[in-house]
């Protein structure tokens, strides 16, 4: 049996080969059997080919030209032309997998071959075999991981329940619980990542850890703050600190919680929250209101400035530049011209020239 000269057809469900002379001779492979395909370029004396790697045949496969094969792939040889386009189309069909959504149409009559049997790919070392094994192993790992994860979550859930009941007892026994115990409870919650059932915050809970962190930050940030005019946004701090750490990074909440404690621990830095919600760290020695006076001078010199322009002039981030100008406006030194061209600040002549 030779399948030398024919036409290759592609449907949404199958790859079909039909003999050129005897149109009744047709063989087909379901696209679902294909593991992957690869191209083989033409060369001297060789035609361009597509190699189609296949899954082992299923037991209810339709009869075909061969009972079995030692190969797990077939080769399609394009003697005349069409390899490139066909490869592209076949790839598309394999990717789209439309056969999964569409019921099959009529089946083409298969060649009534005397050797009716099944194609069975008996490859010992088949790429397809390796892929299949790898996939099974990955699946096994994942399902094991999920099982273990579920069990772990059950235990975690118990911890959550326990913390709730303790929180309730604390509420009832108002005042009967020592400060030391409160601190310990908070640190347990922190370890588990459970929101404080009493205050409903996961941040602002001031544990030992955050106190230490606050002190560390005071040390780390002193110089960077001085280099940046005494003020930095919290996002800048977050990036700076975590980039420096490399490992065991701070969560955003850790940073905020620690910064909230700066003032009470009498450290040389403080957390400030502007009206807009923007959060900054300032040196204690920094006085934003004084900076406003110099900002007013700068704006007056130039007549008017946008936040962008001011930022470039002074060498600040746009975020902080804007906050300073807004503060100046709040204090009455500047007034705004809010147009579609942007927000521009002018010295408040109403104030100075009344």
Partner 1 sequence: LFQMSKQLDMFKTNLEEFASKHKQEIRKNPEFRVQFQDMCATIGVDPLASGKGFWSEMLGVGDFYYELGVQIIEVCLALKHRNGGLITLEELHQQVLKGRGKFAQDVSQDDLLRAIKKLKVLGSGFGIIPVSGTYLIQSVPAELNMDHTVVLQLAEKKGYVTVSEIRSSLKWETERAKQVLEHLLKEGMAWLDMQAAGEPQYWLPALFTELYSQEITPEEAKEAIP
Closest CB to partner 1 among 48 and 250?
Answer: 250
Question: What is residue 332's DSSP assignment?
Answer: T
**By CB under 8 A, residue 269 contacts partner 1:** no
End-to-end CA distance of the chain: 107
**By CB under 8 A, residue 228 contacts partner 1:** yes
**By CB under 8 A, residue 44 contacts partner 1:** no
Which among 9-17, 25-33, 91-99, 149-157 is the span making contact with partner 1, rule CB under 8 A?
Answer: 149-157
Please give the Cα distance from 289 to 282 (Å, whole number): 12
Q: Which parts of 90-119 interact with partner 1 (CB under 8 A)?
A: none
**By CB under 8 A, residue 159 contacts partner 1:** yes
CB 196 within 8 A of CB 189: yes
Nearest to 87 by CA among 100, 97, 77: 77
**By CB under 8 A, residue 276 contacts partner 1:** yes
Instruction: Give least dist CB 332 to partner 1, A.
Output: 22
Strand (E) or helix (H) holding 40: strand 34-40
Instruction: Give least dist CB 65 to partner 1, A.
Output: 41
**By CB under 8 A, residue 163 contacts partner 1:** yes
User: Residue from 1, 142, 349, 351 that binds partner 1 (CB under 8 A)?
Assistant: 142
DSSP calls for 111-129: P--TT-B---B--SS-HHH
**By CB under 8 A, residue 342 contacts partner 1:** yes
Q: Among all chains, which residue has been given the structure tokens 């108002």?
A: 174
**By CB under 8 A, residue 83 contacts partner 1:** no
Closest CB to partner 1 among 78 and 203?
Answer: 203
Question: What is residue 46's DSSP assignment?
Answer: B
Structure tokens given for 5: 């000269």
Please give the Cα distance from 344 to 305 (Å, whole number): 5
**By CB under 8 A, residue 319 contacts partner 1:** yes
Question: What is residue 203's DSSP assignment?
Answer: S
What does each C-alpha distance from 173 to 169, 217, 230, 293 come to in angstroms?
Answer: 6, 36, 45, 53
Total binding residues toward partner 1, as defined by CB under 8 A:
66
Q: Which residues bind partner 1 (CB under 8 A)?
A: 141-142, 144-146, 148-150, 152-153, 155-160, 162-163, 166, 181, 184-185, 188, 190-195, 202-203, 209, 228, 233-236, 238-239, 242-243, 247-256, 273, 276-279, 308, 316-319, 338-340, 342-343
């Amino acid at each position: 049996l030779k399948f030398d000269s024919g036409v290759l057809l592609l449907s949404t469900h199958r790859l079909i080969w039909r003999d050129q002379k005897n149109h009744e001779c047709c063989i087909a492979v379901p696209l679902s059997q294909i593991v992957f395909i690869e191209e083989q370029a033409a060369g001297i004396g060789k035609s361009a080919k597509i190699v189609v790697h296949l899954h082992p045949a299923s037991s209810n496969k339709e009869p075909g030209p061969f009972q079995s094969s030692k190969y797990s792939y077939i080769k399609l040889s394009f003697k005349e032309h069409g390899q490139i386009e066909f490869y592209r189309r076949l790839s598309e069909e394999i990717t789209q997998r439309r056969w999964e959504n569409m019921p099959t149409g009529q089946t083409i009559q298969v060649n009534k071959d005397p050797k009716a049997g099944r194609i069975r790919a008996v490859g010992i070392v088949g790429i397809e075999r390796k892929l299949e094994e790898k996939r099974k192993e990955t699946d096994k790992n994942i399902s094991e991981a999920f099982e273990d994860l579920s069990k772990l979550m059950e235990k975690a859930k118990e911890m959550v329940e326990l913390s709730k009941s303790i929180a309730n007892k604390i509420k009832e026994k108002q005042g009967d619980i020592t400060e030391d115990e409160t601190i310990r409870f908070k640190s347990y919650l922190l370890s588990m990542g459970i929101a404080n059932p009493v205050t409903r915050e996961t941040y602002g809970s001031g544990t030992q850890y955050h106190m230490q962190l606050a002190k560390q930050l005071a040390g780390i940030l002193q110089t960077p703050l001085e280099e940046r005019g005494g003020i930095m946004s919290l996002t800048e701090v977050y990036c700076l600190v975590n980039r420096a750490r490399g490992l065991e990074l701070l969560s955003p909440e850790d940073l905020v919680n620690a910064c909230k404690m700066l003032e009470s621990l009498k450290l040389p830095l403080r957390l400030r929250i502007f009206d807009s919600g923007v959060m900054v760290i300032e040196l204690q020695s920094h006085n934003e209101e004084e900076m406003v006076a110099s900002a007013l001078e700068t704006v007056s010199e130039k007549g008017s400035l946008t936040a962008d322009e001011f930022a470039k002039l002074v060498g600040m981030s746009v975020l902080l530049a804007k906050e300073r100008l807004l503060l100046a406006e709040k204090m009455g030194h500047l007034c705004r011209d809010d147009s579609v061209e942007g927000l521009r600040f002018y010295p408040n002549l109403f104030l100075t020239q009344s």
